[in-house]
Amino acid sequence: MITRQKTIAIIGRGIWGSTLASLAKQNNYEVKTWSRSSSENLESIVASSQVIVSAVSMAGVRPTIEKLSSIKLLSDTIIVTATKGLDAITTKTPSQLWQEAFRNFPIVVLSGPNLSKEIQQGLPATTVVSSVSDEAALTIQRIFATENFRVYVNQDPLGTELGGTLKNVYAIAAGVCDGLNLGANAKAALLTRALPEIIRIGTHLGASSETFFGLSGLGDLLATCDSPLSRNYQVGYKLSKGYSLEKILMEVEGTAEGLNTTKVLIQLAKKEKISVPITDQIYCLLQGETTPSEAVKGLMQRDLKSEY
């Protein structure tokens, strides 16, 4: 195992990239950051870095991969993806895109109940790092673990990634639920039924069901669906109050990845014949085909059936 102190390159200077940079700096790592607006050349940032962290939006993943593909990286480089989303062209996850482009480098997924503003305030938080390479995952664990930020490891990168990605759809639904003042019973029912939908999708795609009961699954679902700090929750909440989606997106800070994820997930579910009733209603709502109240009614009027 390489023991020298590593240099970390973080691509993306948004709130999440800045948060990850701060965590690594707390452990005295040399951290370099880069974004599209940087005056520095990307090659000068990553060429001497043993760890490259992609903290860009889903829309930025492909362009970032294309830029890095033309740069000669150190042979022991570890690539970390901290993006939660699905590719609109292939329906693949970020780590799958990264692994296709960089087959000879270990890819690590970082995902969990990570509201950036809380972490920046020093409040206790946890996350998961996952890779088929145990050594790579343990290395990333050491880099980001701090007194208030606990990092766990698992060996299911796909499940870890899907848990963090799919929960954004249900966060929109949770915002609608709270915005309509439907009460604690309805919110509990929504989250309880959202989890099996996530597991149904994830296991169909090859992930382990156990992963979705962990931090990057249930943990991230609870945090994102119950916090006004969540951009996706804000979208659902404001839709329930009658705001147009265009106006909401102008007001929301950063990218609400649940919007793109919902569209891609509907395509994927149709192709793979996966039942996604909650996602169906959120998709219709985002497309302007139904109202928040009608979406709730649609879910409540589904055929009576066994719970399991």
Catalytic residue ranges: 167
274, amino acid identity: I
Q: If you ran DSSP here, which 8-state letter would residue 65 be given?
A: H
What CA–CA distance (Å, rounded) separates 269 from 275?
A: 7
200: phi then psi, degrees, rounded to nearest 5? -60, -45
Classify residue 186 as exposed, middle or buried by CB count within 10 Å of its CB (0-12, 13-18, 19+): middle
Take residue 70 and report the two structure tokens written for it.
């033309």
Tell me how crowded residue 217 is: count the other CB atoms within 10 A of its CB: 29
Residue pair 172/236 in contact (Cβ under 8 Å)? The answer is yes
Contacts (Cβ under 8 Å, ≥6 apart) of 122: 148
DSSP string, 109-149: EEESS--HHHHHTT--EEEEEE-S-HHHHHHHHHHH--SSE
Rounded CA-CA distance 282/269 in Å is: 14
As a whole number of angstroms, the distance between CA 40 and CA 12 comes to 13
- Cβ atoms of 196 and 133 within 8 Å: the answer is no
